[in-house]
A and B are shown apart, each in its own frame.
Chain A
Amino acid sequence: AQSVTQPDIHITVSEGASLELRCNYSYGATPYLFWYVQSPGQGLQLLLKYFSGDTLVQGIKGFEAEFKRSQSSFNLRKPSVHWSDAAEYFCAVGAGRAAGNKLTFGGGTRVLVKP
């Protein structure tokens, strides 16, 4: 069975500083990996995704993530955080159509941005 771990429940970062959110997954084959962001009381918005190819993927809002197979990780980064980046971030793993398109989510990391 697939699983996702986000070790950090909360992260506080100053505006303009860099941000890195950790994600570790467990899956037997090459997974499909996603990062979603959720603002309070809202649905989820896809930031970026990895299926294959280049292990460094670029997403929206200046985010990027790197797939490291050897570490079973898919960490999310942003060089300079904006106040609007304060939100909950979820890493997710899936197996595509073969697994019925189901996604398994990590516990989430809440990002607080200090002025």
Chain B
Amino acid sequence: GAVVSQHPSRVICKSGTSVKIECRSLDFQATTMFWYRQFPKQSLMLMATSNEGSKATYEQGVEKDKFLINHASLTLSTLTVTSAHPEDSSFYICSAPSGLGTGELFFGEGSRLTVL
């Protein structure tokens, strides 16, 4: 079964509104989680690393104020797309390290955001 769960799986919103996506680790703790963005027919691009108890680390070119990340507990990270615009429409996937120290990640099911 899934060890990382994302919610919602699909969301449609109006331009200018904010959308929150949740990522939960099931039955294990994750001090770090990763948020990826995937455009249609393209690969996954790492957006940021979510750190429990501290600020997220953003990859170059990712707007911190646009994509707010909060790692509220050892099992929950949230990504909020603020003032969403159509160009923010994408597939967002979160992941958490397996804990083996080998870089293996467990991935969530993904969340498809459509901004009208």
- Interface range on chain A (Cβ under 8 Å from partner): 20 to 34
Determine whether the beta carbon of B110 is less than 8 Å from that of A101: no
B26 interface hit (Cβ, 8 Å): no
Determine whether the beta carbon of B42 is less than 8 Å from that of A101: no
Residue in contact with B107 in the complex, picked from A32, A43, A49, A106, CB distance below 8 Å: A43
- Within B88-104, which residues are at the interface with A (CB < 8 Å)? 91, 93, 95, 97, 101-104
A44 interface hit (Cβ, 8 Å): yes
A42 interface hit (Cβ, 8 Å): yes
B25 interface hit (Cβ, 8 Å): no
B67 interface hit (Cβ, 8 Å): no
Between A42, A44, A99, the greatest number of chain B beta carbons within 10 A of the residue's beta carbon is seen for: A44
Determine whether the beta carbon of A96 is less than 8 Å from that of B6: no
| With A90-B43, A97-B101: A43-B32 Cβ-Cβ less than 8 Å | no
A28 interface hit (Cβ, 8 Å): no
Q: Taking beta carbons and an 8 Å cutoff, which residues of A are in contact with B?
A: 32, 34, 36, 41-46, 49, 51, 90, 94-97, 99-108, 110
Q: List 16 A-B contacts (CB under 8 A).
A: A34-B103, A41-B110, A43-B6, A43-B107, A51-B102, A90-B44, A94-B104, A96-B102, A97-B101, A101-B101, A102-B46, A103-B34, A106-B43, A107-B42, A108-B42, A110-B41
